[in-house]
Amino acid sequence: MNQLLFFEDIDEKEIRRLVVKELKNYKALYVRMKNQEEQARAGGHRSFS
C-alpha cells in the first residue's frame, strides 16, 4: 500500500488544537451575530465597535 505515502502522518494533537480554535472562532461570531440581532430588535446602538 504505497499509495498512502502521499500523505503526511496525522498529528492528533495538532488536529485537536485546530478544531478547538475554529470552534472558538465560530462561537465568537455566533455570539456577536446574536448580540447584533438583539440590539437591532431593541433599537439599540453599537457602543463598543
By C-alpha distance, which of 16, 46, 20 is closest to 33?
46
What are the boundaries of each domain within the chain? 11-41
| Between 7 and 33, the higher pLDDT residue | 33
The pLDDT, as a whole number, for residue 8 is 79
How far is residue 19's CA from residue 25's CA, in Å, rounded to a whole number?
Answer: 10
What is the tens place of the pLDDT at every residue in 28-49? 999 999 999 999 999 866 556 5
The pLDDT, as a whole number, for residue 45 is 61
Entry pTM:
0.62
By C-alpha distance, which of 11, 34, 14, 33 is closest to 22?
14
